Amino acid sequence: MASTASEIIAFMVSISGWVLVSSTLPTDYWKVSTIDGTVITTATYWANLWKACVTDSTGVSNCKDFPSMLALDGYIQACRGLMIAAVSLGFFGSIFALFGMKCTKVGGSDKAKAKIACLAGIVFILSGLCSMTGCSLYANKITTEFFDPLFIEQKYELGAALFIGWAGASLCIIGGVIFCFSISDNNKTPRYAYNGATSVMSSRTKYHDGEDFKTTNPSKQFDKNAYV
């Protein structure tokens, strides 16, 4: 029962993390222009993995998609690949988890389901590590440019998408670890085989061995007075 509850908790945590990781891909604010040292802000610059935009003081935004994938900076290409890999791994991890959980009717025997659940945990951990690495790589680029005194171009700060990605990656890793530990709980669960027929026969055997039975005609057990 405890193993089933832990698997359900792991599944909910992992799916929540995967949803958060998936939501970071279309999120706009991966980095936002800083207002540090600026007296008057007339425009806000922000960008994500797919485009760079500017929003003026009236709230009108003008965006420009990155024209070529091969012309992009290496860290953006790496972040794209890592985040897409994280989303793909999370999808397959959720499928494996559905087959490996005890509360489902698919997946085979308990031993096979435990192995599938452990595999789902490993896949979720890999998904979380990919997301964590992608967000950290992007954040490292932002912080390096921000604290570089020789960098004279527009400086940026960390956007909301990075924090969402870190949170989702943490949940995926936590859920995956719980899935991996659930296989040990399954191995510790005692297995009881019903042996009712054998126990009944053994009790009858003991009873016959302990007392002497005389097989007589039931009608001879009563004398004449019993029928009067």
Chunked mean pLDDT (size 10), the chain, 228 residues: 81 95 92 70 84 85 85 90 96 92 80 88 96 95 89 87 95 93 64 43 48 46 49
pLDDT of amino acid 76: 92
CA–CA separation, 124 and 115 (whole Å): 14
CA–CA separation, 199 and 151 (whole Å): 84
CA–CA separation, 116 and 119 (whole Å): 5
Q: What is the DSSP letter of 189?
A: S
Break the chain into its structural domains and give their ranges: 1-188
Q: What is the CATH number of domain 1-188?
A: 1.20.140.150
pLDDT of amino acid 223: 52
Q: Please give the helix or strand (H or E) that residue 51 lies within, else none.
A: strand 51-56
pLDDT of amino acid 176: 94
Q: Please give the helix or strand (H or E) that residue 32 lies within, else none.
A: strand 31-33
Show the tokens assigned to 92.
Answer: 């397959």
pLDDT of amino acid 9: 92
pLDDT of amino acid 72: 85
Show the tokens assigned to 74.
Answer: 């290496």
pLDDT of amino acid 134: 95
pLDDT of amino acid 188: 58
Contact 178/6 with Cβ under 8 angstroms? yes
